[in-house]
Amino acid sequence: MTSLWKIVSFIVATYTIAVVISDPQLSVFQKACSNYDATNPVVFRANRNKTLSNLRLQLSSNDGIHFAISQQPIQPDPVYAMFQCRNYLNSSDCLACFDSAETQIRSYCPLDGGARVFYDGCFLRYESIGFVDQILVSDNFRLCGNNVISQETTFARTVDELLSDIIAATPKINGYFAASSREVGGGTIAYAVAQCPERISPTACNGCLLAAYEKINSCVPQSEGRASDHGCFLRYSNSTFFNGYKETDLSLFLKGGGSSKTFIGAMVGGLAFLLFVAVFTLWFQFLRRKPAKEGDILVATELRGPMNYRYNDLVSAAKKFSEQNKLGEGGFGDVYKGTLTNGKVIAVKKLAIWKSIRAKADFESEVKLISNVHHRNLSRLLGYCSKRQELLLVYEYMANTSLDKFLFGDRCGTLNWKQRFDIIVGTARGLAYLHEEFHVCIIHRDIKSSNILLDDHFQPRIADFGLARLLPEDQTHINTRFAGTLGYTAPEYVINGQLSSRVDTYSYGVVVLEIISGRRSNDLQLEPFTEYLLELAWRLHEEDKLMDLVDRSLDINEYNTDEMKKGIGIALLCTQSSVARPSMSEVVSLLTSKGFSDYRPTRPTFIDPNTRVPNDSSNSPVSSNATIAITEASGR
């Protein structure tokens, strides 16, 4: 039951080819099982049920998505699942394909191990090993039709050109899907589609499609061919199978237009190299594999790892950490702007918590973990440097600084409603990723508007995630300078140190209220009532005057009242008592689903955000003479 055994059996997994029946989208093209068995079938099945129902929730609550992943990392049998459907299916057909695939996949494999089901319309897979970033290109397969077409040579040439073009274009297309057709002559038309899973890199997409091309090539001149390699899919036919779907203009993605055999030749050469690299890295992983908790194999980013910068390079990049280069002071240390000799602009964080950090070895493995987190709403950790008593972290630089500057600072009132709503949704997505999609659940613990950076297009990037993990467990919640900022921090965490992902949900709700109202959470308003932002929001909710909360600098013609009320309603759901708070993926679903629901949140406990928790740590953060003022919920 070692992980090595799991991997070996995973690779020799058996494939069986199923019959293709007439309905093109819901016929099973292929099914396969992975030959390992779960350590604890009860845990495994519960995890599997959760990932499958989460996939379905994502599909049914987001119109127009064609790709979803989900994971339940609960040991000893975590489950990772992925679903993909062809972009020419509309949402209801995509969901129908999922439902059919789910029924198939549940009943197909005898062991409690991984399974995959391939349909013409979609693909579903789960494993107890993370596979979404996988670049393995060795177990692909094909299925050919059994009718040779009449204009053999012209058809073969046309299909070959069409496939070459579609393979070259797909990795460059956002969403990795292309559909196209080409005239053969004599009334015959060749149709083709290509698709890759959205999480892999363009290079991996290219490699996967090339492996599929090698297979499908031998189907021509049959009238039909399909090939697949894990998530990527390639299909051609002499009859249309994506009726009514807008074809991709391939010429936009092809250099110099037209197809070229030499291009494919070069790429097949590249594929051989990629295979070599894959085999080599796999071997390398076997040799040095530790009993790691994540169990991911062949994750490309893990091999690259964070960059170890030279101390002197960072000192000169940040002009000796001069005052002019200082960008801000965060809970974990000061941040400086720096310019490397190659012209790249970076942000360098000088960690002020060196003495609290458990051990240096720990530091490096945590940094490695954080640098593996890639999501468009999370700030990228590029590398680090540790020298004697100094620890430096290097991040991408964000020219638009942080959200607080746009809400209350020198640029206040400059964000319109659309930009604010994008920030609300993006931040929720980033947190949902940290909590539920990354292979380790990372709780941020210090979500606040100054920790949300804005990129050039005002899309949010959450900063400082993972750093709270560097602190010893029993200290984090006591020292608010390091984890948690009063006014944003959930009451159960401040008072009892109870940590769960719902702590971030609470802080997120407070940030949403700040975004909508343009008011700081810990500014005390005196007139007409003495109250903090959260108290104000709950009072207005109870008096049914929610719209009074909205920032006056927002253009009233620009937003829709229902959307605004929905935003406030969701923020209030997030600040309820911890058991009643939604998870961040539920928040994403609520925000992105259409229509308005009348939320009935329940009033929480309030904490006075200006009361300080003592900084010196005794073991129990709240003794009988606690200095935290708690206003118990009154009435209702």
- The DSSP symbol for 401 reads -
DSSP string over 421-482 = HHHHHHHHHHHHIIIIISSS----S---GGGEEE-TTS-EEE-STTGGGGS-TTTTTT-TTT
The CB-of-188 to ligand NAG minimum distance in angstroms stands at 6
Rounded to 5°, angle at Cα 53 from 50 and 59: 140
The smaller minimum CB distance to ligand NAG, of residues 20 and 277, is found at 20
The CB-of-190 to ligand NAG minimum distance in angstroms stands at 10
Cβ contact 299:133 at 8 Å: yes
CA distance 337 to 326: 6
Return the beta strands (E) in 34-146 as ranges.
Answer: 67-72, 79-85, 115-119, 122-127, 140-144
Question: What string of H, E and C letters represents the secondary structure of 555-582?
Answer: CCCCCCHHHHHHHHHHHHHHCCCHHHCC
Q: Strands 232-237, 122-127: parallel, antiparallel or unpaired by DSSP?
A: unpaired
Reference 420, options 599, 591, 629; nearest CA is 591
The CB-of-178 to ligand NAG minimum distance in angstroms stands at 19
Q: Which residues are annotated as part of the binding site for ATP?
A: 350
The smaller minimum CB distance to ligand NAG, of residues 43 and 370, is found at 43
Q: Can you read off the two tokens belonging to residue 374? A: 């890639």
Q: Can you read off the two tokens belonging to residue 178? A: 């292309």
Q: How far is CA 598 from CA 148, 197, 365, 568, 595, in A?
A: 60, 36, 45, 11, 10
Cβ contact 77:45 at 8 Å: no
Cβ contact 346:306 at 8 Å: no
Q: How far is CA 307 from CA 337, 345, 396, in A?
A: 18, 15, 13
The smaller minimum CB distance to ligand NAG, of residues 152 and 562, is found at 152
The CB-of-145 to ligand NAG minimum distance in angstroms stands at 8
Q: Which residues are annotated as part of the binding site?
A: 350
The smaller minimum CB distance to ligand NAG, of residues 185 and 413, is found at 185
The smaller minimum CB distance to ligand NAG, of residues 47 and 575, is found at 47
How many helical (H) and strand (E) elements, i.e. helices and strands, does the chain have?
A: 16, 21
The smaller minimum CB distance to ligand NAG, of residues 223 and 325, is found at 223
The smaller minimum CB distance to ligand NAG, of residues 115 and 607, is found at 115
The CB-of-244 to ligand NAG minimum distance in angstroms stands at 7
The smaller minimum CB distance to ligand NAG, of residues 186 and 528, is found at 186
- The DSSP symbol for 63 reads T
The CB-of-484 to ligand NAG minimum distance in angstroms stands at 35
The CB-of-36 to ligand NAG minimum distance in angstroms stands at 19
Q: Can you read off the two tokens belonging to residue 115? A: 């399974």
Instruction: Assess whether 446 carries a catalytic annotation.
Output: yes
The CB-of-239 to ligand NAG minimum distance in angstroms stands at 4
Cβ contact 318:337 at 8 Å: yes
CA distance 340 to 345: 6
Candidate list 446, 456, 548, 562, residue with the active-site label: 446
Q: Helix or strand or coil: residue 220?
A: coil
Interaction site with ligand NAG (CB under 6 A): 42, 45-46, 49, 90, 92-93, 147, 149-150, 188, 223, 238-239
Active site residues: 446
